[in-house]
Amino acid sequence: MTRRSLLSAALAAGASVATASAANAPKLKLRYGPHAGMFKNSAGEDLVDQINFAADQGFTAWEDNRAPRREAAEQQRMGDALRKRDMLMGVFVSFGDFSKNDFVSRSDKEYRDYVQGEMRKAVEVAKRVGAKWTTVVPNSVNQKLDPGYQTANCITNLKAMCEICEPAGLVMVLEPLNWYTNHPGLFLRSVPQAYAICKGVGSPSCKILNDLYHQQIDIGNLIPNLEMAWDETPYIQVGDNPGRKEPTTGEINYKNIFKWLHEKGYDGVVGMEHGNFYPGKEGEQKLIAAYREVDSY
């Protein structure tokens, strides 16, 4: 065998070992959920290939905000792939129009019928993709209406939506979004505010999505607010700040937070609601390494 042949054989063997290692990566402690496109450089554009790649790296959950915009057949295909790989489907966005304040300005029957119709659509999407949770954002604030009346309208509309969600077992998770960096003018901006609303609604189908990136910007105090709102918080999302990229690229001590969640017995999804700090395949490998690091408590 020539030196070139030996070198080629060694490289092929190394590639085979690396592939086998990646395909058998140990599962991460928490159910971190990548989203569509996060691993496209490594897995390609096909959604199921991306899901399989994520599963091979040890991820056990998935998110797809855009699921309702996909064809029904593609939704079903995604759900089937997740079930096959024993991955937990996280949220998709079913309601939220940042250009309107009608959700907190109206609660008449016509409007309640409208929001119930949106939830009926969400229930059908959830069945296909295998989702238990769906993200709801109560639109923008009304600068001409007292906050108390806006909160009352919000609660009334959410109660109407729960009439559709409860029988289907679908949980709306309200997402507070920060004003200072990304979404100025939205009605719901903090976990304490969302907590009060959920208590007002009083339904197992109306809970909180605590996106720690948004909360770090708007109010901080992350672990104490997680603790105080724990009974209404079945869903977590993450992104480091500043930048909204993977953990280890900003100021948030995610290793401590994930250790706290693990000790709390949290078994829901930790949605990876952020971009990739580094580009290309190398960046995707660095992202995976970052999650291995913060999961190593």
d(CA 150, CA 168): 28
d(CA 104, CA 69): 25
Q: For residue range 26-78, what is the model confidence (pLDDT) as tens digits?
A: 999 999 999 999 999 999 999 999 999 999 999 999 999 999 999 999 999 99
Q: How far is CA 155 from CA 104, 105, 162, 184, 210, in A?
A: 9, 11, 10, 22, 19
d(CA 217, CA 179): 8
208 within 8 A of 172, measured Cβ to Cβ: no
Q: For residue range 207-223, what is the model confidence (pLDDT) as tens digits?
A: 999 999 999 999 999 99
Q: For residue range 261-276, what is the model confidence (pLDDT) as tens digits?
A: 999 999 999 999 999 9
Checking if the pLDDT of 277 tops 60, the result is yes
What's the token pair of residue 283?
């960046």
Supply the pLDDT for residue 22: 55
Q: For residue range 153-175, what is the model confidence (pLDDT) as tens digits?
A: 999 999 999 999 999 999 999 99
Q: For residue range 97-138, what is the model confidence (pLDDT) as tens digits?
A: 999 999 999 999 999 999 999 999 999 999 999 999 999 999
Structural domains of the chain, ranges and CATH numbers in brackets: 27-89+239-297 (no CATH), 105-238 (3.20.20.150)
| Amino acid in position 90 | G
pTM of the model: 0.92
d(CA 193, CA 195): 5
